[in-house]
Amino acid sequence: MAVRPPAARGTARRWALVLLLAAVACDDRDAGDAERMERTLAQLATVPHLTQADLEEGERLFDRFCAACHGARASGTEQGPPLVHRVYEPAHHGDYAFVRAVTTGVRAHHWSFGDMPPVEEIEPEQIIKVIGYIRLLQREAGIR
């Protein structure tokens, strides 16, 4: 299967808003979480430019860090929701939402699985590759 990264779609205004939201969200987090989120957000613009090798690594990282709760190919389990679902389409849950969930955790708000704790073992550049992999799966399922 040939993997083709999506076309770049962000604007400077959009990224300024994302960084502003990140600063607000980080305000009540500890310094380590805030620094990790900032490092990840700084790389967020690279998601549209990931290579096939990056996306394949994203799959391996997803299997290692995420699949226990979110299932093989992000299909969901009894412990976590499917990420290949319209709820997580980019227009509703942008890439920033994934960064925030992984770096700081997130309260349950769409599903009844409970709160998601932060995934502390994954590095910012790895988070970006996981997001790219999830977006690839979503595109394959017709979620844009």
Q: What is the pLDDT of residues 75-99, one digit of tens each?
A: 999 999 999 999 999 999 999 999 9
pLDDT for position 20: 47
pLDDT for position 25: 52
Q: What angle do CA 106, 10, 43 make, to 5 degrees?
A: 60
Cα–Cα distance for residue pair 142/144, rounded to 1 Å: 6
Q: Which amino acid is at 112?
A: S
Task: Report the predicted TM-score, pTM, of the whole model to 2 decimal places.
Answer: 0.75
- Give, in words, the CATH class of 31-140: mainly alpha
Both tokens of 54, joined, read: 């990056």
Low-confidence ranges of the chain (pLDDT < 70): 1-30
Q: What residue segments make up the domains of the chain, in order of their start? A: 31-140
